[in-house]
Structures are given as structure tokens and as C-alpha cells.
Structure 1
Amino acid sequence: MSTIHESIMYQLRTIESEEQVRILYSCESGSRAWGFPSKDSDYDVRFLYVRRPEAYLSIFEQRDVIERPISDLLDINGWDLRKGLQLFLKSNPPLLEWLQSPIRYEESYTVAERIRALSPQSFSPRSCIYHYLHMARGNNRQYLQGAEVKSKKYFYVLRPILACAWIERYHEAPPLAFSALVDELIPQGTELYGTIQQLLARKMSGDELDLEPRLGVINEYLEQQIAHFEEEASGFGQSEGVPRDVLDELFRSALLEVWGADSRWTR
């Protein structure tokens, strides 16, 4: 087991002890999960947790996020399962991405797999298109408008735009892997494909990828795609969604699975 993996697991166990929670599922998010980490990329650890059942019966609202200070190496935070399920009702893309992360640190209970099984029913093309479009538009406006741009930021506009394109073509949640999106959606042999591949190789080899002359072929593609999805986003369908009573039952059964006889709560 690597030192970084041991450090992550130690942090997760410390969170459980200090916060009096149980972590249901933890995974890697961000560039490592997307398949384009730099040599110095930090670890974006995300998790779902539950408190003891009696905490949910309090007249006081419980904080539904646990965050730890970001270090040079680790960025760790997670959501209460109840918050996660509320967002799941809205087809929340970050949660959907967590659940399909290829890098999973632990999955000790059945709840994550049960949510995954419901994901196709929850997935809303329109909600997800709007999420990814907002991300692409904001990063494009902030990072890619000058004569010189931060080249590594191209990935943080390309990936959400390609996610939109995947949803448009297949009407399903996009894969996490950046390379899968590029290979499927950008015609191979084109200048655009070659420029993206060169940039990707440089990023993964550890090149600085800071301020450089803008890459016209990528900027042109991004501007066209952003304009396209701004025009078309409202026409995408919404999901029927998962019935609330199904998620209520999932939440209650998760509490029983985790705490069982240790809980003062009974059905």
C-alpha cells in the first residue's frame, strides 16, 4: 500500500472518529479520476457519510458537509448521505461522477451500489447539460480569453464541453475518462484531435503548461460548442426521477446497515 493511500485512509478514519460518523463510500475526484493528472496534482478525495440515526431526529439541523483544510497534497471533503440523496433527486453531476470514479478508496456498505443502480432513472440530460455548460463557460471566460492563456486550463473547459456533447449524442451520463470523450467525439486525424493529444501528453509528462500563446484551433472549437449548447440546452429532456419514497427507504436502510443494533433508533 502506497504512502499516499495510507495517508488518505488515516485521514478518513480520523474524520470518522472526530465527527462521530461512518464513511459509506470514498473515491478520487478531479484530474486523477478524469485521467489527466500532472506529476504534482493533489488528491481530491470525496466521500459520503452518515451520522448516528438519533442525530437526524434532533430539532437542530446538522451540518451536512465535512471539510478538511486543503494541503499541498490532499483536498478532502464529503457530504452527508441525506444531502447526497437530495442532490441525487436533481441529477447532480458531481455526485454521479463520484459514484463512477475509477479510483475508489473504500466502499464498505451497499448504499453506493444501490444509488448507482438508480442513476439511469435519475439522470436528467437538461440538468447535466446546464451544469457542464456553466462550468465550461465560466472557465473559458476566466482563463482562455487573452493572447496568452494558462494552457492547463484548456482541460477544464474541454472536459465539460465534451461531456455536453456526449449527453447530446447518447442521452446518458458521460464517462469520466477524458481520453474516452476525446476519442469518441473528436474525429481522429484532425488538427483539433492532434492538438488536444499533444497538450495532454505535455500535461501528463509534467510540463508546466502555464502562460502560453492561445491554441486557436481549440479556442475556436470551444467557442462554437459553447454557443451551440447555449442555444440548445433548454431543449433537452428532464428525467422522470426516482420516487422520493424509494430514496427515503434507501436512506433508512443505510442507517440500519451501518449502525444496526448499536443504534438507539429502531424502525
Structure 2
Amino acid sequence: MSYEVPDLSAVVAEQSHDLLFATVSGAHLYGFPSRDSDVDLRGVHVLPIAEVLGLRHGPETKERMWVRDGVEIDLVTHDVQKFCRLLTRPNGYVLEQLLSPLVVHTTDAHRRLVSLAAGCLTSRHGHHYRGFAVTQWRLFEKTGEIKPLLYTFRALLTGVHLLRTGEVNAHLPTLLEKLDGPDYLLGLIEAKILGEHRALAGVDGRPAPERLEADLAHWQEQLREARDTSALPEEPPAFEEVHDFVVNLRLAISG
């Protein structure tokens, strides 16, 4: 399933702080948007030095949700310091946002940060993806909806692929092909197009609960093995470079 990035240049121009980058994340990045999916726009803003060192601290995180031209947009940006703090921890969300191919706005600083991303990958990212998968599976058990089921396997397969190869890939259809994942998930992706909160019970040819539980256990074990045998370091080797990046960027923008 392809996705064309909408023209959101006006959204970027409206922001009160400089934007380092803005990319599309969420279901569009994962490869299973619905017809009624909102657009998850994620990025980094840069607070001027006066809003970092003074008494009136600027917002570390900015959130806004609104409708533009009939499309609901969910915009979340972090200040560069917070974003990079998360980047140097085992946080898959910010990695996926930074490396998303669905780029709405970019800068030289964004490209520099992308170049540092490989040095932020660690074996501990396995914990992030396991935790996210567990949370989504519980949501699936509660709601019976296709969406959290797809999120569960997307997280597990992204984690396995990352730990095995050092590559961040959040696109579920691609991961299914690369890792020979459960074939019924492609059918569920097609079914989800019809509605963001469509129930699994209403889908013809849906997998039996026993099959889902067996596949869940299998990919959880694959993630555990990938974490235990990963060649990735436990700590990010690029930590000092990322630290210097934040300091130099802040000084350059405020100067």
C-alpha cells in the first residue's frame, strides 16, 4: 500500500518555534492506514536559548489536533533536547519518526541527526518493542479490533528486524515479506482500510484465536532470541556526538 505525503507546508509555517523536521508516522508509516485515519505528524522544534536558560521555560512538547481540508491532523513535536534524550535511550518511537521516509519538512540539521541515528541503536530496543506489543495485545483482547492486532505484530517484527540487521523498518507489509510473517495479516490490512475501528469478528477468513496466540508466542520468542544474540551494543556509541549536536544547534539558532 503506497501513501502520498500531503502538502503540509502551511502547517510547518504556522509553528511558533523553528522546526528541525516533520515526518508522517503512525498507521501511514506502518503501512495500514484506514480511509478515516488521521495523519500523525511528528517532529522536532528548537527552543531559543532564552526559553531554556531563563525563568520562563518553553514547551518541551507541543501537541495540537485539528482538521485541515477534511483531514484530521495530529501534530506532536519535542524540543530537540528532549527528542535527543529519548533518541539515546531505547525508544523506538523517536527512531521511527526521525527515519520515516514520509518527510514533510527537512533541514540540514535533520539530515545530520539522521546520520547519527545508527549510533543510537542498541540491543535494549528489544525491550521497547516487547513492551509496546504487550500493551497493544491487551488492547486487542479488550476491544477485538483489527488495529491493535496489527500494531502488536508490527512492533514485534520491527523489533526482530532491527535487532537482527540494525535497520529500522516500521512498514508491516515489507516486514511480512522480509521475515515471512503470518500471511493472514495482509488480509487484515486490507480489511482495516474500511474503518479505523473495524472488529476482527466481522472479517471473513479471520485466523482462529489459537492461531493468533501461537503466532504471538512465536514472535515474542523470536524477539527475545534476537535481543540475546544481537550484535548491537547495549549503550549508544553516538551519545557524545548527539550531545554535541544539541549544544551546537542551540547556540547556532540562538546566536
Identify the range of structure 1 (173-182 vs 203-212) with the bigger mean alpha-carbon deviation.
203-212
User: What is the match of residue 167 of structure 1?
Assistant: 162
Kept in 2, the 8 Å contact 1:121–1:239? The answer is no
Q: Is 2:117 the partner of 1:119? A: yes
CA drift of 1:83 comes to: 0.8
| Aligned amino acid, residue 93 of structure 1 | G
Cα RMSD, aligned residues only: 2.8
Q: CA deviation at 1:45?
A: 0.5
Structure 1 counterpart of 2:172: 178
Alignment of 1:25-64 (within 5 A): 25-59=21-55, 61-64=57-60
Question: SS at 1:82's partner residue?
Answer: helix
Length, aligned pairs only: 241
Shift of 1:220: 1.8
8 Å CA contact 1:91, 1:124 repeated in 2: yes
- Taking the aligned partners of 2:12 and 2:249, their CA distance within structure 1 comes to 19
* Secondary structure, aligned partner of 1:79: strand
The percentage of aligned residue pairs carrying the same residue is 20
CA contact (8 A) 2:87 2:94 kept: yes
Deviation at 1:15, TM superposition (A): 2.4
Spell out, residue by residue over 1:7-53, the C-alpha distance to the aligned partner (whole angstroms, 9 max, x if none). x433332222xxxx111100101011122111111000111011222
Among 238, 241, 246, the residue aligned to 1:242: 238
2:6 aligned with 1:9, yes or no? no
Relative distance call for 1:45 and 1:68 in structure 2 (3 A) is same
- State the alpha-carbon separation in 2 of the partners of residues 90 and 101 from structure 1: 18
- For the residues of structure 2 that align with 1:97 and 1:134, how far apart are their CA atoms? 16
Contact 2:139 2:148 in 1 (8 A): no
After TM superposition, the structure 1 = structure 2 runs for residues 71-86 of structure 1, keeping only pairs within 5 Å, are 73-86=72-85
Gaps of 5+ in 1: none
Cα deviation for residue 92 of structure 1 reads: 2.4
Q: Are 2:193 and 1:204 equivalent residues in the alignment?
A: yes
Pick one of 218, 227, 235 that aligns with 1:224: 218
Q: Structure 1 residues 101, 13: closer, same or farther in 2, change over 3 A?
A: same
